Amino acid sequence: MQANNFILGDYLQRIGFSRDPTSDAEGVRQLMRAQLQSVPFENLDVQAGKIVSLAPEDIVEKIIYRRRGGYCYEVNGLFAMALTALGINYDIIGARPMFYPQRRPKSHMVLLVKIGAERWLCDTGFGSFGLRAPIGLHQRGEIIAQDDESFLLEHNEHGEYVVKARVKGKWLNQFCFDIHPMEWIDFSLPNYYNSTHPDAVFVKQYLVMQQHPNGRTLLSGNLLKKMMGDQEVISEVSPAELNDVLQREFALKL
């Protein structure tokens, strides 16, 4: 994944990464956490009636230079550009969201990063209880603590990997995936669906999420949720308050 206007130094400045990144597993972990805690997941363009552009140069311009966020294709695409610049191998993988009542298409995108003999699941773009750091496929079956949250990687009956998050004492499925690589162009149709279809959650309501070292803040529709471990504080956001909330909580504006 490359873009003509991607400059590694500008990316590192955007995510507040002040040291030289390394190309090992710890370096990838540090880079992923820095992006998660500085670049919000957000669907403001979709809510404005726009189709999200997957042109790599547009992603760079939007997130790095206009200091916006994006949804999975954009933020994971940007992370892939950083990995490419660092000479780190990875595959682009399609994933199936699992918080719907029925089985859904693979409309989510993640990365499988190859470090030595190990493969690490990286995802900077899941808008609910997404990972806070990479998880190794070799860690399947282990409960993995990341800050005050816990995750679990298991196999399901279809032979897919399933990512689970522990939420209020319960293990909840987040998404599943296999290890077969996809091409960037393969996400054109899922992106069009997520940008335009009336049944797509991104079309239905605002979804903005920012991770913090001690939790995450989520705007879902007109509800602002501040979460720390199993603690959650919820408040309503009126239309008149929306822009102030976006600026204050996510450094965004309409």
Please report the pLDDT score of residue 139 as a whole number.
Answer: 96
Question: Beta partners for 151?
Answer: 144, 165
Over range 30-48, report the average pLDDT: 98
137-190 residue pLDDT tens = 999 999 999 999 999 999 988 889 999 999 988 999 999 999 999 999 999 999
Average pLDDT, the chain: 95
pLDDT of residue 93 exceeding 80:
yes
Please report the pLDDT score of residue 102 as a whole number.
Answer: 74
Over range 116-127, report the average pLDDT: 95
Q: Whose CA is closest to 122, among 159, 170, 89, 154?
A: 89
Over range 95-99, report the average pLDDT: 89
pLDDT of residue 103 exceeding 90:
no
pLDDT band for position 127 (cuts 50, 70, 90): confident
Please report the pLDDT score of residue 121 as a whole number.
Answer: 98
pLDDT band for position 128 (cuts 50, 70, 90): confident
**102 or 205, greater pLDDT:** 205
Over range 58-68, report the average pLDDT: 98
194-238 residue pLDDT tens = 999 999 999 999 999 999 999 999 999 999 999 987 789 999 999
Over range 55-83, report the average pLDDT: 98
